[in-house]
Structure 1
């Protein structure tokens, strides 16, 4: 990995967004304080758990499409969160063993888990950068040790930008889009205004920044061209690629949106 582990307090006495999300997904990398907070949020919106699962499956389907159908061999994942199988590199390298993946996060507990769990195939590469997503120039510089930005790169930012207030997401994405080669992709998932009560509960503990509607989320893609089926609920993005029916999507309509877009010109 590119960075040395930070010497920081992991703060297991307060809820942590990555650990709470892991709780929603049914993982094991969380503590009592995270479960307590998660249960309180599920009392407000019991559909958060299936929404988190749908978002995770969207990640796997979208990476599969980019690696298999579009020949993408380089991936940059912003705001990685705690490793949850299947991880992005497992999907990509399962299709193309020579795929190169860079994960980015600034939470020390995520870095600790990443160092233990995010391993690469012998033919490819997997790296982790300890950085805040708003430090886009630093991220690009460090990611270039593993990725060639002269060739197409797929950038993903899942369940991330609602933690950032305006205008930060638009600013950093404009800088990032300008550095990507034609044929690159941008994948985004984001909660919708129907999550207002959840956002208010998060605000006091973790600071959920800004809820955006579908038009505002679409604007984050800039001049990139959205792939079909466009910006949709996570469970509606290419559901035919699921090996089996997992969830019907009942109850999570209009809680979140996601899409994948391609850079078609220099």
Structure 2
């Protein structure tokens, strides 16, 4: 059995469908148990005894983590540590997801997997602690670090921009933070390829990999692409993409500091899995099409 934690989130939801051809898949949500409670987690692991754990559960409220560090640590550090320990003891595979927030955001070049980490926020620090716990456990594991995750369902930047574009006639969006938007479906697809290879005995496929689309952009230009793409699909909005104005991060204060450079090099994952990841613009068009169809049904 493949056990997917956080299956009610946007990545977890995509994983349930994408991993189905590889074997029985069981998704865990809050209704199944409290994943921040070690006893609940232990009980679920013994109940299902998976051959593979795909950990899509996390505390992702970046700003709230600043005032709730214990809750963030429980989900982002303690949970993956417990999953890794169980997987090692029971000969299971672990796939875990991490974030660009483990880096300090300096410079303007894409981060490689072996770059020095230096998280700026509680969220980033707890995610890095989870990564390290998995690596230290000596378990058969893959860690995918991704960035700017969005999708046609759930709560994410794309859906927020589409909502605001229906409610307002202009927007101001940060233009000095760089990164790569990555749809949940792409994360699930690449995970399926990696898991298939692992199940076929690809022993060398382990450690940390960056998993994003190709290319780079800013939140401001991403917003313009979302609104422009939605207009191309005939979605009625109250504004066009040229009504999105750039502002610096300093003009949009938040409790948690954001990395200015979230570019991630994807060369290692492409070479390891024999893939050519899509440009973020092409992936956005596919995701918008999915959203339009979902919205119209």
Place the TM-score, normalised by the shorter chain, in its bin.
0.3 to 0.5
From the two aligned structures, give the one with the greater helix fraction.
Answer: 2
Structure whose CA Rg is larger? 2
TM-score norm. by structure 2 comes to: 0.35
